[in-house]
Amino acid sequence: MNSRLVVTFTTLIVFLIAALAVPLGLAYASHRTNRLLLDRRADATRFAELADQAAREADYSGLTAEITRYADLYGAAVRVRDRDGAVRVTAGRFDADDRDATRLAMSGRTTEDLPMMTPFGPASVLLAEPAGRDAQLSGVVLLQAPTDQARQDVWLVWGALAVGALIALTYSTLVARQLARWILRPVAELDRTTQAIAQGRLDARAHPGAGPSELRRLEERFNAMADAVAGAMERQRAFVADASHELRTPLTVLGLRLENLEPHLRAEGTAEHAEAMAELDRLALLVADLLALARVEAGADVEGKVVELEPRLATWREVYAAKGVLLVTDISERAVIPEAAARIADIALDNAQKFVPEGGTVTVTLADGVLRVTDDGPGLSEEERAEALGRFWRSGAHANVPGSGLGLAIAAELARACGATLRLLPADPHGLIVELRLPAP
């Protein structure tokens, strides 16, 4: 946007400078052309008077000497024709076509205008002046004058205007850049702030400073909105954390009491008691996961330390061996990853051991900063993978599998907290890949 504003401002400035410089340059060229016309017409008028006198006296010697000196001095060419069109006197190199000018002068009219002088031409101009008065015309004086000095003057003025316009454009562009930066400073500040919030820094705020008052007010209102949203989220997290924490003790007590009731149950109540204990375990797992999610969202359980991955996988090998599932690892013995990434691996391995049937295989790899947990279980469809990272999501085909539906949601929050990217991909020919792309160190 900054570049577009600078281009817009610069374009307007170019039009403004052109609107000032071009008419000024044309006005000077017209003025210099008129000056040349007046100067040379005065000379032509003087020669016309001398030609008229020479025609009456039938002596052109004085006129010849006069126009010869003039042609030598100014580099011009002068030709005098009588009333019949015959050339009486000529001096200098006269190469212009004078037929139209001669007819104009023979009608008693003088040259009133000339082509506008520019640095590129014309190289010479032709003026015609009738000799004599009214119907008593005795001839015509034709003056072909060079325009070198006039064109040079126009060139100097146009060059000065061009240099001035270039200097003005340069300074105006610098001012336009500063103006665009000043206008967009609040926008850039809001962009940095929204990016920081999107990355999980919910305490990031814009810092109103320079810029238009309307955009500064927008920064203040954005900060107020961010405070309100962050406050609401914090209250929500606090409520979930407090409720989960407060529920743990009653659930524990309830579990103990149900266990104490078991010896006093009749045989027909044993099944109902087992179902009640299973539901209690599921509720306790849900509360524990809710508490874990709330702590992750608050950043309480996300630390910057790194851990070795191999010792954690050793524990999972025992679990997988007990279920008849093969756990294959392709990582370095000394490989270390952020603790949040290790917890994501635990969540992925816990899910895999629930869904991979006996005889299946789960593979863990770590290469080029990418951690993958691949299983050959039933996997998920494309629509299910798109929804699986949401809270409380459970596939309809896995309704009878223990779980709270919060595991992958916790993994997604952990990935966001450590700056990683979590994706669910299909395995070939079937199964699921949990891919965690770690940030560059």
Cα gap 376→288, rounded to integer Å: 29
Q: Is residue 168 part of a domain?
A: no
Q: Is residue 21 part of a domain?
A: yes
Number of Cβ within a 10 Å radius of residue 429: 7
Residue 29: give the domain boundaries.
2-155
- Residue 240 confidence (pLDDT): 65
Q: Is residue 172 part of a domain?
A: no
Cα gap 83→395, rounded to integer Å: 114
Q: Are 327 and 317 in contact (CB under 8 A)?
A: yes
Cα gap 102→97, rounded to integer Å: 10
Q: Is residue 40 part of a domain?
A: yes
| Domain total of the chain | 3
- DSSP-derived 3-state class of residue 30: helix
Cα gap 92→74, rounded to integer Å: 10
Q: Is residue 113 part of a domain?
A: yes
426 in the same domain as 369: yes
397 in the same domain as 281: no
Q: Are 216 and 186 in contact (CB under 8 A)?
A: yes
Beta strands 136-146; 77-82: pairing state = antiparallel
**What is the pTM (predicted TM-score) of this model?**
0.54
Structure tokens at 410: 């916790």
**Letter for the amino acid at 276?**
A
256 in the same domain as 140: no
Q: Is residue 311 part of a domain?
A: yes
Q: Are 71 and 43 in contact (CB under 8 A)?
A: no
pLDDT in tens, 294-307: 666 665 555 567 88
**Letter for the amino acid at 254?**
L
Q: What is the CATH number of the domain that holds 283?
A: 1.10.287.130
Q: Is residue 173 part of a domain?
A: no
Crossing angle of helices 407-417/339-355, nearest 10°?
160
251 in the same domain as 122: no
Q: Is residue 224 part of a domain?
A: yes
- Residue 179 confidence (pLDDT): 87
Cα gap 294→240, rounded to integer Å: 7
Cα–Cα separations (whole angstroms), residue 179 to 147, 176, 193, 206, 232: 46, 5, 22, 20, 38
- Residue 244 confidence (pLDDT): 65
pLDDT in tens, 175-218: 988 888 888 888 888 888 988 888 777 788 888 888 888 888 89
- Residue 350 confidence (pLDDT): 87
Q: What is the CATH number of the domain that holds 96?
A: 3.30.450.20
pLDDT in tens, 234-284: 777 777 666 666 777 777 777 787 788 777 777 777 788 777 777 777 677
Extract the residue ranges of the chain whose pLDDT is less than 70: 134-135, 240-245, 282, 285-287, 289-304, 396-401, 403-404, 441
- Residue 298 confidence (pLDDT): 60
